[in-house]
Amino acid sequence: MKLLIVGDSHTGALATAREQGQAAGTLPDHVDWTIQPLGPGLNMRQSFWEPRGDHAEITDETYRKRLPRLPPEDARFDGIGLCMPMWFGRVLRDLVQGDLTLPGIADGGRMISAALFRDLVLRDQQPALDLAVFLRGLGTPVFAVDTPTVFRENRYLVRVSPARLLGIVAAHRAVMRAELARLGLALVERPEACTQGGFMRSAFRRKDPTDRHHANAAFGALMLDRIADRAPDLCRMPAPPA
């Protein structure tokens, strides 16, 4: 099976894991991987692509340098994984900078409703969700690939409590899991063993001490294994709704 994984900078952990696995001969034999990080997820809140009949044209200048269109020209894939929809960073930044919090998190901050938070999350992820639905409409199965959650070294912990940080991230996850399910898009979730007390285990953090939110190739390898294990189902088009 030929799989294309594309997404924000968190896709880099998967790309590095593929390179290392290929060199070591440890990649699953039944999957032919193409993995392409587009760049930082900052610009994925805005529309970064446009429909062009049989493909999506990538319009963001940074992303376009990596991949000008989806699917790539003269390439066919059995499935496309998007490592975009589960990233919470943009919404988390907005809430922390605005000193905003959510119902059930009692540590100060200005509370916004669950309904408003859901709207913020879905508007933030709308370009990625629209891309997933568009690509699936071209006849290729599309699924979402999970991202790492926060590390204990997260920079926002100097401004908000761990309870607020983890609460916002968990609420974002709940909204996106529900939305992916509503759209009929499968999610390959990270293993529970990657986390402890709600935070990513330090063993999965990149060695660069200045990087406080990207995971390493060990995490990427776990995600590739999860994708490979589910590949036959992920590459099957979902049944139309009854």
Is 241 a member of any domain?
no
pLDDT digits (tens, 9 = 90+) for 74-110: 899 999 999 999 999 999 999 999 999 999 997 889 9
Is 91 a member of any domain?
no
Is 114 a member of any domain?
no
Is 242 a member of any domain?
no
Is 94 a member of any domain?
no
Tokens 């970064």 sit on residue: 48
Residues 6+ apart with CB under 8 A from 29: none
Question: Per-residue pLDDT for the chain (242 aa), expressed as one digit of tens each?
Answer: 999 999 999 999 999 999 999 999 999 889 999 999 999 999 999 999 999 999 999 999 999 999 999 999 989 999 999 999 999 999 999 999 999 999 999 788 999 999 999 999 999 999 999 999 999 999 999 999 999 999 999 999 999 999 999 999 999 999 999 999 999 999 999 999 999 999 999 999 999 989 899 999 999 999 999 999 999 999 998 765 54
Report the predicted TM-score, pTM, of the whole model to 2 decimal places: 0.95
Is 137 a member of any domain?
yes
How many domains, the chain? 1
In terms of residue numbers, what domain contains 146? 2-86+125-154+183-234
pLDDT digits (tens, 9 = 90+) for 54-75: 999 999 999 999 999 999 998 9
Strands (E), the chain: 2-8, 32-39, 49-51, 56-58, 69-70, 79-83, 100-101, 110-111, 142-145, 186-188, 195-196, 199-200
Q: Tell me if 165 sits within 8 A of 119, measured CB to CB.
A: no
Is 138 a member of any domain?
yes
52 vs 213: CA distance, rounded Å:
34
